[in-house]
């Protein structure tokens, strides 16, 4: 089997993935090859937001949005989709 360099990735991510594969007793290349085989066979990819944290800016926006909602500030309610779209114009 011929091998090739496929892509660039974050160094910390690569090291963490290599460490995980080693702890599981499998070569890191086997992990990559399996993901690529599934990608080709299924022609789909799944991304997960699991474990992701919003940025400090987004956290502030979310907190402010929840506060506004609780206080009834900057909130509009509509009885239909058409009414909501009409408000955008």
String of DSSP letters for 10-34: -HHHHHHHHHHHHHHTS-HHHHHHH
Kindly give, in sequence order, each residue whose CB lies less than 8 Å from that of residue 17, ignoring residues fewer than 6 positions away: 28, 31
Give the range of the structural domain holding residue 84, as residue numbers without chain letter: 56-88
H-assigned helices in the chain: 11-24, 28-42, 56-71, 81-88
Does the pTM of the predicted model rise above 0.75?
A: no
Confidence of residue 50 (pLDDT cuts 50, 70, 90): confident
The reported pLDDT for the residue numbered 41 is 96
Confidence of residue 29 (pLDDT cuts 50, 70, 90): very high
Q: Is residue 48 part of a domain?
A: no
Q: Is residue 5 part of a domain?
A: no
- Count of domains forming the chain: 2
The reported pLDDT for the residue numbered 6 is 76
Q: Is residue 29 part of a domain?
A: yes
Q: Is residue 68 part of a domain?
A: yes
Taking residues 21-33, what's their average pLDDT? 94
């Amino acid at each position: 089997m011929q091998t090739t360099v496929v892509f660039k990735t974050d160094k910390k991510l690569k090291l963490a993935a290599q460490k995980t594969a080693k702890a599981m007793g499998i070569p890191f290349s086997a992990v990559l090859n399996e993901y690529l085989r599934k990608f080709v066979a299924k022609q789909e990819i799944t991304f997960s937001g699991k474990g992701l944290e919003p940025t400090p800016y987004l956290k502030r926006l979310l907190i402010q949005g929840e506060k506004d909602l609780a206080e009834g500030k900057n909130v509009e309610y509509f009885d239909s989709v058409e009414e909501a779209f009409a408000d955008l114009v």
